Amino acid sequence: MSEASRLHLRPSQSGLQNDLIKPLLTDYYQITMAYAYWQSGRKDCNAVFDLFFRKCPFHGEFTIFAGLQDCINFVDKFAFSEEDIDYLREVMGPSVDPAFFDYLLSVTANDVVIHAIPEGTVVFPRVPLMRVEGPLPIVQLLETTFLNLINYASLVATNAARFRLAAGPKARLLEFGLRRAQGPDGGLSASRYCYIGGFNATSNVLAGKLFGVPISGTHAHAFVSAYETMDQLANRAVKYKDSDEVCPDFVALAQEKRALLASKWRESPMQCDFNPNDRELIAFCAYAIAFPHAFLALIDTYDALRSGCPNFLVVALTLRELGYAAIGVRLDSGDLAYQSNVCRSVFKWLAEELDVPSLAEFTIVASNDINEDTLYSLEGQGHSIDAFGVGTHLVTCQAQPALGCVYKLVEVDNRPCIKVQSAWRLTVHPVYQQLSAEVQKVTMPGDKYCYRLYGRDGAPICDLLTRREDETPKVGEQILCRHPFQEQKRAVVRPNRVEQLYKVYWNKGEVTAELPDIHDIKKRVDDQMRLLRMDHKRMLNPTPYKVSVTDKLYTFIHQLWLDCAPVGELS
Ligand SMILES: Nc1ncnc2c1ncn2[C@@H]1O[C@H](COP(=O)(O)OP(=O)(O)OP(=O)(O)O)[C@@H](O)[C@H]1O
Ligand SMILES: O=P(O)(O)OC[C@H]1O[C@H](OP(=O)(O)OP(=O)(O)O)[C@H](O)[C@@H]1O
Ligand SMILES: O=C(O)c1cccnc1
Ligand SMILES: [Mg+2]
C-alpha cells in the first residue's frame, strides 16, 4: 500500500486497532468454506456480497450506520500469521491438503473492492450498507468480522440517537455504561458509538484516550459515605480564583454560609427545618477543596431535598466567596422530575434572595436506570433537568440486544445469485396447507447502486436501488420507484436532489475515500437526523421510510425469483 493512500487511514485510530480484530476472529465455517472453495478450484471466482439489515431496531424506522472505519482498518491489515496457520493446521486435521495453508498464508485483501455508505448516515432496511467484491474465498472470510464490527456499532449508535431524540437537542447526555457493558470491548465500543450517535461525553476514560471522546463525570455515593468527621479533612486551604490569596480554612467559611442559609431556609420553597446532614457537608467540602472550579455534588445519599440540596448550596456559596462558580447537583434516585423542579425553585429563590441571578442556573444532572420511555415521560411531566447520565439501558441496548445485519452473496462471476429457500414456508392451517411467501427474506440479486432522492423541503423521500446498467436518476426528472416485492406499490418521484450513496472505500489494497474523524462522523449523524422527517423518527408507530427499486431491477429480481423458487405440491 502506498504512503499517499495510507494517509487516508486516521493514524490515531488505525494504530489502536483492537488486538482481537484479526482474521481468526471469525466463525470456523468461514475457514472450512474457504478450503472447499479452494479445493474445488474456485479461489479466483469473483464474488459480490451485500451487507444489509432487514428491520430497523427498537421498533423504529431508522438506523445509524456505524463501524465502517473498523472494517477498513481490518481489511488493511488482513493477513493470517504463521501462528494462526499452525493453529488451523492442528484443528483442521491431516485430511486438509497442506497446500491450502500456503494459500491461506498468502491471503490479503489486496484484490478486494469495498463500496460503502459513509459512516454516520441514516440507513434503512434492505439497502446494502457495504458491497464487498473480490475472490470468493477471501470475501467470504470477511463476513463474520464485518458483521461483528457493524452490528453492535450501528445498534448502539442508533440507540444513542433515539435517546437524543427523546431528550431533545439541548440536554447534555452523558454515557455512564462501562460498568454494565458487555465486557471491556463492548464498553469501549459503546462509549465510542454513543458519542457518534448523539451523546456529549462518556465517563469511560480509556475511550477518551483512545478515541478522543470527551470525558466527564461526577462522584459516587461511596465518596459521600466515606466522610464522617471534620478531622478527616487534612487540607482545608483553597486559593482564591483570581488572586494568589489563600483561604486557610474552607470549612470554617462554609460554616458561616451554613448559618446564613439556615437563617433564611424557612422562607425557601422547601419551608422545612434546616437540618442537613453534617457528614454530607464534610464530603462536599472535601470535593470542593479538591475541585473548586468544577464542583458538582451527588445530593441523594441521605435526603436529596432536605439535606443534599441545602448542603450543596452551602458549599456553592462558600466557593462563590472565593470567586468560583459551582456547577450543580446530581440526582440518582426517587422521582427525578419532582426533585429537579423543587431544586430549581430553591435555586431561583436563593438567586432572588441574594440578588445573584447565576445561582438560579445551577446544572441539574439526573441518573438512575434511565431509558427512552423515562425520557419521554419526564418531558411530558415537566422537569428541570439539564443533563442525563445513562448507563445500562443505553450500552446493553436492553430494548433490543442485536441488529440483524446479514452478508449475502448476490453475484458470482457475473452470475446474479438470489436466496429464496427461506422465502417459502409451509404454514399448517386447521383445514388446509398453504404456501406463504416470506418476502422479507428474499435477497436482491446482482450488483446494485443506491440513490437517495430528496424532496422540495430538503428531506429525503425514498432510497432507490438500481441495476448497474440503469440510468442515473436525475434532478427534476420523473422516476418510477417500485416496492421491491409488492407489485401494486409504485410511485413517481421528481427529486429536487439526488445523492449517490456509495463511495469506494477500499480498492485493491488502497484506501480510496476519506475516513472522517469521530467528531465529523458525529456531526454527520446530527445533520442526517435533522433532515429526516419527524414521522419516521417518532417513538410510536413511526412511518416506514420507502426503499424502492427501479422497474428494471424489479423485473430482474422477480424473474430470477420465479426461476429459482421451487414449485410446491399441494395434497
Ligand atoms: N418522574 C419520573 N417519571 C418516570 N420515571 C421516573 C421518574 N423519576 C424516576 N423515574 C425512574 O423510575 C425508576 C425508579 O427506580 P427505583 O424505584 O428502583 O429507584 P429508587 O428506589 O428511586 O433508587 P435506587 O436506585 O436508589 O434504588 C428509575 O428507573 C427512574 O429512572
Ligand atoms: O442507572 P444506569 O443508567 O445504569 O446509570 C449508571 C448508574 O451507575 C451508577 O450507580 P450504580 O447503579 O452503580 O449504583 P446505585 O444505583 O446503587 O447508586 C450511577 O449512580 C447510576 O445510577
Ligand atoms: O460520573 C458519574 O457520575 C458516574 C459514572 C459512572 C457511573 N455512574 C455515574
Ligand atoms: Mg442506579
Residue 457: is its pLDDT beyond 60? yes
- Going from the Cα of 366 to the center of ligand 3, the distance in angstroms, rounded, reads 11
Residue 250: is its pLDDT beyond 90? yes
Cell of 251: 470549612
Average pLDDT over residues 367-389: 98
Tell me the pTM: 0.94
Shortest-distance atom of ligand 3 to CA 216? 1
Domains and CATH numbers, the chain: 3-161+401-564 (3.20.140.10), 218-385 (no CATH)
Residue 125: is its pLDDT beyond 70? yes
* For helices 28-39 and 82-92, angle between their N-to-C axes, nearest 10 degrees: 80
- Pocket of ligand 1 from Cβ distances under 6 Å: 333-337, 368-370, 374, 377-378, 381
Shortest-distance atom of ligand 2 to CA 298? 20
Residue 549: is its pLDDT beyond 80? yes
- Pocket of ligand 3 from Cβ distances under 6 Å: 176, 203, 217-218, 367, 389, 391
Shortest-distance atom of ligand 1 to CA 371? 31
Residue to probe by mutation, ligand 1, list 300, 302, 331, 336, most atoms within 8 Å of CB: 336
Nearest ligand, CA of residue 390? 2
| Per-residue pLDDT tens over the stretch 251-301 | 999 999 999 999 999 999 998 889 999 999 999 999 999 999 999 999 999
Lowest mean pLDDT segment, chosen from 251-260, 374-383, 443-452, 458-467: 443-452
Residue 395: is its pLDDT beyond 70? yes
How confident is the model at residue 571, as a pLDDT? 76
Shortest-distance atom of ligand 1 to CA 368? 31
Nearest ligand, CA of residue 222? 2
Which three-class secondary structure state does DSSP give residue 312? helix
Residue 491: is its pLDDT beyond 60? yes
| Per-residue pLDDT tens over the stretch 182-206 | 999 999 999 999 999 999 999 999 9
How confident is the model at residue 421, as a pLDDT? 58
DSSP state of 552: H
How confident is the model at residue 560, as a pLDDT? 85
| Per-residue pLDDT tens over the stretch 559-568 | 888 887 778 7
**Which residue's CA is the closest to the ligand 3 atom numbered 7?**
176
d(CA 454, CA 461): 5
ipTM score assigned to the predicted complex:
0.96
Average pLDDT over residues 313-339: 98
| Per-residue pLDDT tens over the stretch 207-244 | 999 999 999 999 999 999 999 999 999 999 999 999 99
The confidence band for 155, taking pLDDT boundaries of 50, 70 and 90, is: very high
Shortest-distance atom of ligand 3 to CA 330? 3
Shortest-distance atom of ligand 1 to CA 378? 3
| Per-residue pLDDT tens over the stretch 53-98 | 999 999 999 999 999 999 999 999 999 999 999 999 999 999 999 9
Q: What's the one-letter identity of residue 24?
A: L
Residue 545: is its pLDDT beyond 80? yes
| Per-residue pLDDT tens over the stretch 135-151 | 999 999 999 999 999 99
d(CA 365, CA 388): 6
Shortest-distance atom of ligand 1 to CA 300? 26
The confidence band for 440, taking pLDDT boundaries of 50, 70 and 90, is: low
How confident is the model at residue 430, as a pLDDT? 44
How confident is the model at residue 476, as a pLDDT? 96
Residue 321: is its pLDDT beyond 90? yes
**Which residue's CA is the closest to the ligand 1 atom numbered 5?**
374
**Which residue's CA is the closest to the ligand 1 atom numbered 25?**
333
**Which residue's CA is the closest to the ligand 1 atom numbered 13?**
369
- Taking alpha carbons only, the member of 47, 49, 39 closest to residue 103 is 39
**Which residue's CA is the closest to the ligand 2 atom numbered 12?**
368
Shortest-distance atom of ligand 1 to CA 381? 1
Taking CA 95 as the corner, what is the angle to CA 92 and CA 99, rounded to the nearest 5 degrees? 85
**Which residue's CA is the closest to the ligand 2 atom numbered 21?**
368
Residue to probe by mutation, ligand 2, list 178, 367, 370, most atoms within 8 Å of CB: 367
- Going from the Cα of 521 to the center of ligand 3, the distance in angstroms, rounded, reads 25
d(CA 296, CA 329): 5
How confident is the model at residue 353, as a pLDDT? 96
Mean pLDDT rounded to a whole number for the chain: 93
Identify whether the C-beta of residue 172 lies closer than 8 Å to the C-beta of residue 195.
no
Q: What's the one-letter identity of residue 256?
A: E
The confidence band for 17, taking pLDDT boundaries of 50, 70 and 90, is: low
How confident is the model at residue 5, as a pLDDT? 44
Residue to probe by mutation, ligand 2, list 156, 173, 182, 368, most atoms within 8 Å of CB: 368
- Going from the Cα of 367 to the center of ligand 4, the distance in angstroms, rounded, reads 7
Torsions phi, psi for 491 (to 5 deg) = -150, 150
- Pocket of ligand 2 from Cβ distances under 6 Å: 176, 179-180, 221, 332, 367-370, 389-393
| Neighbouring C-alpha atoms within 13 Å toward the C-beta of 274 | 17
Cell of 40: 474445488
pLDDT-above-90 percentage for the chain: 86
Identify whether the C-beta of residue 484 lies closer than 8 Å to the C-beta of residue 128.
no
How confident is the model at residue 570, as a pLDDT? 85
Taking CA 507 as the corner, what is the angle to CA 504 and CA 509, rounded to the nearest 5 degrees? 145
Residue to probe by mutation, ligand 2, list 178, 330, 332, most atoms within 8 Å of CB: 332
- Taking alpha carbons only, the member of 391, 393, 396, 398 closest to residue 365 is 391
